[in-house]
Structure 1
Amino acid sequence: MIRDGSLNELKVIHHLLFQDVYAWAGHIRTVEIRKNVEGAEFFLPSTNIGMGVAWSQGELKRDHMLKDMDLVTFAERLAYHYDNYNFVHPFREGNGRTQRVMWTMLCHSAGYDLDWRQVGGDENDNASRMAAEDRDYSALISIFMRIAHPCDPSRPFNMERIPAEHLG
């Protein structure tokens, strides 16, 4: 279960998802990357990944790991944190799937289940780009308002709640 959104947790998730695909599964990138879209900006420089995740993790902790929030506040704060982690992009490939697993588990602990089946890849990419480039979180907030559903965080988390297409 995700406890604090640390780099080690991200590395474990990435390794579990991609160990049969990439020899470097679970290892942070050492190259600079950006989305393969005209005009896309680079993600955080690889030399700053540890610091970037630590800062994002600190922001998340200041928001009490998204616990005890009404749905609107939860969606707004999740959009902010999702953008922070997305900018770090610690791996060469598989960042989106890794993040979706992390957020699904973390949000369950905060009292919300996320149903990613309601979000298409293009919609998520466009919303993420708006947040990253324009600081406009409205599309991400809209997504999270739609896919977040209250749950009982004391109920054990079931990995089967994560759609297979997000598991590598």
Structure 2
Amino acid sequence: MTPGEATRRAAADYEAGHIDVARLIDVADGDQLPASGVFARNVLIAERGWRPSGDLSELVAIHRALFEGVFDDAGLLRTSDTTRKATHDEARASNPEAFFPASLIETGALNIATELAEQHNLQALDRDVFIPKFAHIYDELGYLHPFRGGNAMTLRVFGSRLAHDAGWDLDWGPVTRERYRQAKHAAYLADTSVFERLFAEMIRPANPTRVFLIAGFEQGPAH
């Protein structure tokens, strides 16, 4: 998911302080490429922020901010059951991975939010305690899959915010698409250890002044 050339140039101008985020959005929309529009809105949401409620309403707010003006269903929950997209793995293709039933998304989201609240949003935890708990919540939200599309990027933004507020930053830059997919597949089979190893490589103590990391955009932004 690569933005157009004009958007990349505008992003460099934004990073250098030559233009504001509104101008970046204008340039990205002029590219008429979904990747450009979503990229610019990642910058917008990082700059303006959102209400960190830790529940479904936060996921909806992130999804809407990322995809409004790009896709018609921005901020809308999916209404039909779905499975993971096609794969070249024959065994997996013959047994597609189903996501959480659409009719129960709000109930499932409430259960996850309650679990997270009971754990005080994973705050004040040592690194070796935080990582498995974070991987568990991340997996549950991935399985919830509340939107028709854009779930992975929405979850990365949510997860990065959750980790940052708990005292940890995530660097998505080194994460390849294939490693992320492998972690998701293992988690679907009830093994979150691959996610745990992935997050262990990404995590570092939070920098209070850190706002946005453009590197690794293809895997979603870091907050």
TM-score strictly above 0.5: yes
User: 2:126: which partner in 1?
Assistant: 70
Q: Which runs of 5+ in 2 are unaligned?
A: 1-49, 88-92
| Divergent runs of 4+, >3 A | 162-165
CA distance in 2, matches of 1:157, 1:15: 23
CA distance in 2, matches of 1:4, 1:59: 13
1:69-108 aligned within 5 A: 69-108=125-164
CA distance in 1, matches of 2:149, 2:59: 13
What is the CA distance between 1:157 and its match in structure 2? 5.5
User: 1:123: which partner in 2?
Assistant: 179
User: 2:75: which partner in 1?
Assistant: 26
Q: Deviations over 1:4-60 (max 9, x none)?
A: 321111011001111122111000001111112312221011111101111111111
Choose 1 or 2 for highest CA Rg: 2
> Which residue among 195, 198, 202 is the counterpart of 1:140?
195
1:40 aligns with 2:87: no
User: 2:39: which partner in 1?
Assistant: none
Distance 1:8 1:97, change over 3 A: same
SS of 2:173's partner is helix
CA distance in 2, matches of 1:103, 1:48: 22
Q: How much identity, in percent, do the aligned residues show?
A: 33
CA distance in 2, matches of 1:2, 1:104: 14
User: 1:161: which partner in 2?
Assistant: 213
Aligned residue pairs: how many? 163
SS of 2:169's partner is strand
User: 1:150: which partner in 2?
Assistant: 205
SS of 2:195's partner is helix
Q: Contact 1:10–1:98 (CA<8 Å) still a contact in 2?
A: yes
Distance 1:2 1:72, change over 3 A: farther
What is the CA distance between 1:162 and its match in structure 2? 5.4
Letter in 1 for 2:193: S
Which one is further off, 143-152 or 87-96?
143-152
Q: What is the root-mean-square deviation in Å for CA atoms of aligned residues?
A: 1.6
CA distance in 1, matches of 2:214, 2:109: 23
CA distance in 2, matches of 1:68, 1:140: 21
Letter in 1 for 2:158: M
CA distance in 2, matches of 1:144, 1:85: 16
TM-score computed with the length of structure 2 as normaliser = 0.69
SS of 1:117's partner is coil
Q: Deviations over 1:125-161 (max 9, x none)?
A: 111111122x111100001111010115xx2561x23
What is the CA distance between 1:2 and its match in structure 2? 5.3
TM-score computed with the length of structure 1 as normaliser = 0.90
Q: Contact 1:101–1:162 (CA<8 Å) still a contact in 2?
A: no
